[in-house]
Amino acid sequence: MGEPARIIVGISGASGAAYGVRVLDALAELGVESHLVVTKAAALTLASETDLSIADLQARAAVVHKLSDVGASVASGSFRALGMIVAPCSVRTMSEIATGVTSNLLTRAADVTLKERRPLVLMVRETPFHLGHLRTMTALAEMGAVIAPPLPAFYARPTSIEELVDQSVGRALDLFGLDWKPVKRWGRDLGPVSEM
């Protein structure tokens, strides 16, 4: 029997903890094994933006790794995974990944994901971007990362924050070849409005 499908999930300290929470929920629904790494800043953001504790968040993951454990399985290229998603991704985390000078397990796992040529999806949460941010994103894109800011898809006609979050999460998971049911798709669930 083969190994399960796995995705490494990083949650960093940018606003948007709900994105990471829903990534974990989606992977569980899809039967994909999630390997979670959370930064200290993410734990603070989780507390300020949600009613969840860090234990509640960790309970949603299949496997939890300590941020300081740079010897964890996900720090090695021999660990087989579909790739990694950082949701949300802070500018600090993005910048550290871009340099290849990693200081914790989250950024080390992202660096390994890049070197193994696996999908690395960064749901970067910041606005506005200055030129340094944009150059960092360009460098990461040139290295093979996908920069996927969680932008609202108003064509999906969301009626709640949850639907906005789910659409962004589902579109990010599309990049791993995963089809999550809450995503509203053009041509399937949605179509052009008839001309006047």
Give residue 96's domain range.
6-174
- Total length of the chain: 196
179 domain-assigned: no
Average pLDDT, stretch 94-122?
97
Within-domain flag for 192: no
pLDDT given at position 114: 98
What pLDDT score was predicted for residue 188? 81
Question: For residue 188, is it within any domain?
Answer: no
Give residue-wise pLDDT tens across range 33-74. 999 999 999 999 999 999 999 999 999 999 999 999 999 999
Strand order across the beta sheet in which 63-65 lies: 63-65, 33-38, 6-11, 84-89, 120-124, 146-147
Q: How confident is the model at residue 190 (pLDDT cuts 50, 70, 90)?
A: confident
Predicted local distance difference test score (pLDDT) of residue 52: 97
* pLDDT for the residue 196: 56
Question: Quick check: is 195 in a domain?
Answer: no
Q: Where are the beta strands (DSSP E) in 49-160?
A: 63-65, 84-89, 120-124, 146-147
Integer Cα distance of 190 and 26 in angstroms:
21
pLDDT digit string (tens) for 111-136? 999 999 999 999 999 999 999 999 99
In a domain, 104, yes or no: yes
Domain count for the chain, please give it.
1
Average pLDDT, the chain: 95
Please name which of 123, 115, 108, 26 lies closest in space to residue 73, comparing C-alpha atoms. 108
Q: Which of 26, 17, 4, 38 shows the shortest CA–CA distance to 172? A: 26
Respond yes or no on whether the N-terminal peptide bond of residue 182 is cis (omega within 30° of 0): no
Domain of residue 96, CATH code: 3.40.50.1950
Picking from 53, 50, 51, 45, the residue whose alpha carbon sits closest to that of residue 15 is 45
- Cα end-to-end span (Å), the chain: 57
- The pLDDT of residue 194 is 58
Whether residue 186 is contained in a domain is answered as no
pTM: predicted TM-score of the whole model, two decimal places: 0.95
The secondary element (H helix, E strand) that includes residue 91 is helix 91-99
Q: Rounded to whole angstroms, how far apart are CA atoms 89 and 160?
A: 23
1 inside domain:
no
Does any domain span residue 189? Answer: no
